Copies of this chain bind each other. A is one copy, B any other.
């Protein structure tokens, strides 16, 4: 494949944006990415989004967003549940790599807060198996609670052992102007937070929000300079959607396959990664992702949090801009936020949460409880 690089990123603050439509939010991120890239148009547009049809009564987001951005270019929506952003980037990457276009814009966008929480909960459940899971009455957080409870039982962890994931995310988000939550939390806050679905508390779970992030990509050989960040690996994998269909429900098999493939593409080992934006929709997912990607043995993910290794100064910094937990989780946009954040780290633009001399960063975006996995590795170019 023709190597591809990111030369522009844009993000909106994640918030309740009741006064703006989904197209306006998307276009704010696109304009920021265009300005950052120093470009005025692009060859094509891919929109990562999960639930605009359900929550915004709007499909056909491709031409809608393209038109509002002033771009008369081919544009489609890519959906892979909460992995939509990463999946959209992969489509953009293949469009550029195939030489179909010489540049592509990728925007992830979601507008979730206009509707009643019950409607949002039902919409989020469309990431799970409608016929065999949701039909039984379980919600998406309920499925993650089943995983977490079994994991605690199998490996002997207490609920408080997951606290460092949330505390670290909230601490880092304090320095990210785009983050949904600017609120430090303590172990006591974590333990006393409201129960959502046993054993998942409010502070185990990431907040929804309205937001968009965008990337501008080009063939790597057409650009030079310090803004150029190389995509040195792009890999996707899938697993069953339904938990009960998996032989090992406590191991993210697709995440493991996708990460191994990505390491091979980039020619690196997990130890070479300077920071890892993982998909911490719930604290349990942080543990499982770290294990699947080779940073911890099975059942040992929480140890990395307890030992402080996930902090900015640790051996494998995660959620350096707040992660899903505190930056926020506008689901179809999340994978693109992750990528924009890795780019900012590799450019050295992250101030107080800058990982020292970051050269290689990884992002892993997950759709459903491990069904869709998209892994990207970026390198300073």
Known: A98-B97, A123-B53. Is A239-B63 also a contact (CB below 8 A)? yes
Contact of A240 among B56, B63, B372 (CB under 8 A): B63
Measured CA separation A105–B59 after assembly (Å): 24
Name the residue in A63, A98, A130, A240 with the highest tally of chain B Cβ atoms < 10 Å from its Cβ. A63
Measured CA separation A364–B57 after assembly (Å): 26
Residue of B at shortest CB range from A71? B238
Q: Is A170 an interface residue (CB 8 A)?
A: no
Contact of A241 among B1, B56, B60, B81 (CB under 8 A): B60
Chain A, interface size category, equals 35 or more
Chain B residues, CB < 8 A from A87: 62, 76
Q: Is A25 an interface residue (CB 8 A)?
A: no
Q: Is A81 a contact partner of B59 (Cβ separation < 8 A)?
A: yes
Chain B residues, CB < 8 A from A95: 94, 98
Known: A60-B126, A79-B59. Is A99-B1 also a contact (CB below 8 A)? yes
Measured CA separation A27–B126 after assembly (Å): 19
Name the residue in A21, A64, A239 with the highest tally of chain B Cβ atoms < 10 Å from its Cβ. A64
Q: Tell me the A214-243 residues at the B interface (CB within 8 Å).
A: 235-241
Q: Is A74 a contact partner of B131 (Cβ separation < 8 A)?
A: no
Q: Tell me the A58-99 residues at the B interface (CB within 8 Å).
A: 58-64, 66-67, 72-81, 87, 90-91, 93-95, 97-99
Q: Tell me the A320-372 residues at the B interface (CB within 8 Å).
A: 367-368, 371-372
Q: Is B1 a contact partner of A58 (Cβ separation < 8 A)?
A: no
Contact of A79 among B77, B97, B129, B235 (CB under 8 A): B77
Minimum CB–CB distance from A318 to chain B (whole Å) comes to 24
Measured CA separation A91–B91 after assembly (Å): 7
Chain B residues, CB < 8 A from A58: 126, 129-131
Contact of A62 among B23, B51, B97, B238 (CB under 8 A): B238
Residue of B at shortest CB range from A258? B74
Q: Is A14 an interface residue (CB 8 A)?
A: no
Q: Is A66 a contact partner of B98 (Cβ separation < 8 A)?
A: no
Chain B residues, CB < 8 A from A98: 1-2, 93-95, 97-99
Q: Is B21 a contact partner of A57 (Cβ separation < 8 A)?
A: no
Q: Is A60 a contact partner of B77 (Cβ separation < 8 A)?
A: no
Chain B residues, CB < 8 A from A236: 44, 74, 76
Q: Is B126 a contact partner of A63 (Cβ separation < 8 A)?
A: no
Q: Is A40 an interface residue (CB 8 A)?
A: no
Name the residue in A73, A123, A125, A241 with the highest tally of chain B Cβ atoms < 10 Å from its Cβ. A241
Chain B residues, CB < 8 A from A235: 74
Q: Is A143 an interface residue (CB 8 A)?
A: no
Chain B residues, CB < 8 A from A167: none
Given contacts A59-B127, A64-B371, A94-B100, 5 further A-B contacts (CB under 8 A): A44-B236, A58-B129, A58-B130, A62-B372, A76-B87
Instruction: Return 18 A-B CB contacts under 8 Å, by A number.
Output: A23-B131, A53-B54, A57-B125, A57-B130, A58-B129, A60-B368, A61-B79, A63-B239, A63-B371, A67-B238, A67-B241, A72-B238, A74-B236, A75-B238, A76-B236, A77-B78, A78-B78, A97-B99
